[in-house]
Structure 1
C-alpha cells in the first residue's frame, strides 16, 4: 500500500519497496529467487540444452489480459522458472557448443544482482562515482590481462555489436571519414555497423579471405593502393581475433604495420577470441593485438559473465571522450574533472546501468589465474576434439583445425542438408547443440568449446550422436 502525505518522515515508518511490498515479503521472495537459481545450477547438466517453444502456446501461457489487480508473485516466479526460462537456449550448459557459449559464473551473477538491487547507475561522476571507479578499474584490469598498453581506456556496453560500433565511431572521429577494410569472414554485424554509421558502399571494402580464412596482408595492401589511386582515403582496417566461423585470427602484426604506414586506425574485433590473450598459447596467436587502436571483446563469453556485457578498449587516451562527450546545462552539476570519468561521455549510452560490478565481483572472487586456467581449458578441449576427429578418418574430416576453442569438421559423405539435419536432430534431442555452417563453398559442422565445465566425455558422446545414421 502506498503511503499518503501524512506518512511520518522516519525512513523506517514507510514500506521499503517503492510500490508497497513489505520487507518480509521482499526477503522471502528474494531468497526464493536465489534458491531457484542455485537449484538450476545444480541440475543444469540434466536439462535440455535448447528448447524453442510454440508462439501460440507461449502467448497463451504468458500473455493474456493486462493484470489490473495484483497476481500472486510466487505463481509468477513459478511461471518464469518453469515456462519462460525453459523455452530458450542455455548457453551455460556444458554441451552447448553452438555459436559462442555464455557460461556465466555465480560470483558475476551476484555482482549483477547487487547492481540491480541498488539501482546503480554509471553515467555521470556526480551521480555514480563509485560505479565509475569500478568500471575504470575493470577496464584497466582486462587491458592488463590482454597485454594492451597502460594508456588504454575503455567503456562497457551491451555486447560486440555496440562495442564495435563504438570503436568505429571513435576511428572516424580521430582519422576522418574514409574506407574501412574487412573480409568475408568478418562478423555479419560489422558491415551493418559501418552502413549505419553512414559509410557508402565504396567505403566498405569486403576483401576475400585467404585459404586459411584469414585476411591476406597482400590483398589488403593492394586494395589500399587501388583506393588511394582512385582518390579515396583509407580510414580503418577491421581485423578479426577469433572469427565466429572457425576461430581464425588475422595476421595482426602485419596489419598493424600497414596501418602505421598509411596512418590508418587498426580495430580488432575480438568479441569472443580476444580473451585467449590472457593465456600464453593465446597470446602467441594474437601477437600484434597490443598494437591496435581499439579492441572489442564480450566478457559475457570467454570471461564468464551473465548477459549482457561488451567492452570497447581504446589505446589512444581521450579518444572516447573526444568522440562522444557532451556537456548540456542540466548536467553541469555532475561533470567530472581531474581524473574523474563521466561514462555517459564514452559512448552513445547516457542512462546506463553499472555493468562493471559483475566483472569486478568475479575477478576479485576467483582471481585472474582462475580465468587464465578456464580459458586454457577451452582451448585444450577444442584440440582434444580435433585429435579425436582425426582418429576416425572414415567418419570425420577436419575442415579447419582447432583455433581458440573452435573446430570445424564434416561427416564423410554428407552435404549441407545432411549436416543441418544431424545438427537439428541433436538439438531436438536436448542432449547437446552445435552449429552447421558454410566455409566459403564447403559445408561443415562447428563446435565451440569454451565452457570450462565441459568434459571430454561430453564431446565424445556428442560426436557419437552426430555420427549415428539419420
Structure 2
C-alpha cells in the first residue's frame, strides 16, 4: 500500500501541448498542406438557385448576420447554393473553417450541367511544396531585417547558381517575376542602364529616342507594356519582317533598320530573339544576331520555350556568350504551378539598378523560395527528364 501511496503522491508531469513544441514554420506547413488538399478535392456542380432573400433577411445580413452557407451531411459541396453578396463586412468574426468553406463553394460554382469535375489540378509532392513556399515567404518577412537579408540572399544566390548551371548561363545576375510582362520590363531597364548609365539623372532625353527590335512573328504586347511603364513612345518598337524562306527574323532587314535609326540620331537599345516564342516555334539565328548587336552595342534578349532545351544539351557550349539575357518559364516547363518567371542576365556593375526596386529583398530575392524548394525536390536529372518528355510529347 505504501508503494501505491507514494505513486499517488508523486506529482504528475503536465502534458506539453503539441503547438508549443512545433516550430511556427512546421505548423504553417501542416495547415497549408491541409487547406491545399481540401481545395484539390473540390468538385464543380450546377448551382441550385435559391429563393430571393426577403428584405428582413437582407437587413440582418447588412447588420452583421451570417448567410446560411453551411453544408450539412445531406447537402455537400456538390450542390452549392448561389453565393449571396452583401454590401458591408459582417459585424462579428467568422471562423476560419467557415471562410474556407465559402471559398470552396465559390470554386465549386458551375454554369454547366455536365458531370462534376475537379476545377483545380491535382498536386504531386513537388507542386504542393511550391505552393506552401508562398505562405512561408509571407511568414519569413517577419524576420529581423538583417536576418531577412541573409536568408533571402542565400536562397536567391543558390537558386541563381543552380539555374545558371542548368541552362548554361555563366555567372548570371537574376530577378524573379510574376509574369513575362514584368520580366521584359526589367530587361528593358537593364538595356537602358547598360547603354546609358546616366539615365537615372538625365531621364528619357538622355536616351536620344530608344528603339526596340522584335520579329513580326512575336507578340509586341509585353514590349508595349514596358514602353508605357517607362514613358517611351510605342513607335520605338520596330517590327522586323520574317525571312520568306526560314520564317525567322530577316537579319538583313534588321541591320538596315538599325543603320537607319542611327542615321536619324536614335538609340538602338534592345533586340528580342525568338527561340520558340512564336506559335510556329521559330528559332532565330542567335549567332548572327549577336554579331549585329555587338557591333552596335545593343542588348540581345532571348525568349521562348526552346530555351528549355538548354537543360538537356550536352557539351561545353554556353548561351551567355551569345545573348545578354534569357527568360525561363519554369512553371510551364516542369509542370509545377506558381513558380516565378526567371530572368537570367549578364552582370552589370551599376548600383543604379537598385533604384528600380521598391524593396530589392522582397521583390527580387525572397520570391525565389518556391524555386529553391522545387529544384531541390526534383533534382537535376528529373528536371532534364521532365523537359525531355515535354519535347517528345510536342514532337
TM norm structure 2: 0.67
Match of residue 299 from structure 2: 265
Match of residue 387 from structure 2: 375
| Deviation sequence 1:297-351 (CA, Å, 0-9, x none) | 22222143322511111113435x432248xxxxxxxxxxxxxxx9944xxx856
Q: Aligned pair in 2 of structure 1 residues 234, 35: CA closer, same or farther (>3 Å)?
A: closer
Match of residue 195 from structure 2: 175
**Of 154, 167, 187, the match for 1:133:** 154
Deviation of 1:138 (Å): 0.6
Secondary structure in 2 aligned to 1:153? strand
Instruction: Check conservation: 1:214, 1:249, Cα contact below 8 A.
Output: yes
Match of residue 365 from structure 1: 377
Output aligned runs, 1:196-235, within 5 Å: 196-211=229-244, 212-235=246-269
Match of residue 308 from structure 2: 275
Alignment root-mean-square deviation, CA: 4.1
Instruction: Check conservation: 2:271, 2:299, Cα contact below 8 A.
Output: yes
Secondary structure in 1 aligned to 2:338? coil
| Deviation sequence 1:24-48 (CA, Å, 0-9, x none) | x9899656414325657xxxxxx78
| Deviation sequence 1:268-303 (CA, Å, 0-9, x none) | 223x4422321239x99x985652112122222214
- Structure 2 unmatched runs, 5+: 1-15, 47-79, 112-118, 197-206
Distance in 2, Cα, partners of 1:208 & 1:85: 47
Instruction: Check conservation: 1:159, 1:310, Cα contact below 8 A.
Output: yes
Q: Aligned pair in 2 of structure 1 residues 205, 361: CA closer, same or farther (>3 Å)?
A: same
**Of 278, 282, 285, the match for 1:251:** 285
Q: Aligned pair in 2 of structure 1 residues 26, 306: CA closer, same or farther (>3 Å)?
A: closer
Match of residue 441 from structure 1: none
Match of residue 297 from structure 1: 328
**Structure 2 residue 145 is the aligned partner of structure 1 residue 145:** no
Distance in 1, Cα, partners of 2:385 & 2:358: 31
Q: Aligned pair in 2 of structure 1 residues 125, 368: CA closer, same or farther (>3 Å)?
A: farther
Larger RCO, structure (CA 8 Å, separation 6 or more): 1
**Structure 2 residue 241 is the aligned partner of structure 1 residue 242:** no
Aligned residues: 316
| Deviation sequence 1:1-36 (CA, Å, 0-9, x none) | xxxxxxxxxxx99x99xxxxx99x989965641432
Distance in 2, Cα, partners of 1:103 & 1:378: 18
